[in-house]
Amino acid sequence: MITVQDAWDAYNLRILSFKKKRNQFIEQGRWSNHIKNNIGHRLIEDLTVNDYLALRSSLEDKNLSPQTVSHCLSLLRRILKRAIDNNMTKCSIPSFMYVMPKFDNKRKRYLSEIEARDLLEELDGTNWYDAMLFALHTGMRKGEMMNLRKSDCDFISGFIHIVDTKTFKDRVIPMNSVSKDILTRLYARDGEFFFILETEKYGNKLLKNWD
C-alpha cells in the first residue's frame, strides 16, 4: 500500500519533471504549501470523500481564492489518477472522481484612475511596476502575462500574439506607446519570458489577488 506522498513522488518524477520549469514551480508549490501536510501521509486505499471534504475545507479556511482551491484539488486528483493508471494502488478510479468546486473567473470591477495611480506609486522601484503598468495598458490576464515570451511580440507590426489560456485560440493585442516601451526595455534582459515576478516583495499578495 502506498501513501499520497508516494503517489506525488511518482507524479513529480514521471510527469511533472518533463513540463516547463514554471509549471513545475507552481505545482510543487501547491503540493508543498497546501496538500502535503494535510493528506500526504495518508494511505490512498484508506481515503474517503470525507478526507477530500476536509482538505477542501482547510484550503478555504486559508482564505485562498476559489480558483486556487480548485487548482489544488485538481492536482490531487491528477496525482491519484496517475497512481491508479500505473497500478501503484488497487483503488478504483470512482473513489477519487469527486466534484470540483466552481468559481467565477469573470472580472467584476476595474481599478479607478485614483486606485491605479496609488497602486503604481506603491510598486514604484520594483519590477512589479512594469508588470502592473503593462496590465493596465493591455488588459492581459495574469496567466497570459506570466507566459508571455519574447517570440510572441512583433515590434514591427506592433502586435502581441498570444494563445488565449481559456479557449486555446490565437488572438492579438495591439501595443500602445506605453506597453511597447515596457516590452522594449524588458526584451534586453536574459531569459525567454518578459515577466519573472514570483519572488518579489509584493509577489505573493499580488499573484493571489490578481486574476
Residue-range domain boundaries for the chain: 4-96, 113-209
**Under CATH, what is the fold of the domain 113-209?**
hpI Integrase; Chain A (1.10.443)
Strands ordered across the beta sheet of 153-154: 153-154, 159-163, 170-174
pLDDT at residue number 94: 44
**Under CATH, what is the fold of the domain 4-96?**
DNA polymerase; domain 1 (1.10.150)
Q: Where is average pLDDT lowest: 80-94, 105-119, 163-177?
A: 105-119
Whether the pTM exceeds 0.85: the reply is no
What are 111-165's pLDDT values in tens digits? 777 878 888 888 887 778 888 889 888 888 888 888 888 888 999 888 998 876 5
pLDDT averaged over every residue in the chain: 81
The alpha helices in the chain, defined as continuous H runs, are 4-14, 21-30, 36-39, 49-61, 66-85, 113-123, 128-138, 142-146, 177-187, 203-209
Q: Residue 192 is which amino acid?
A: E
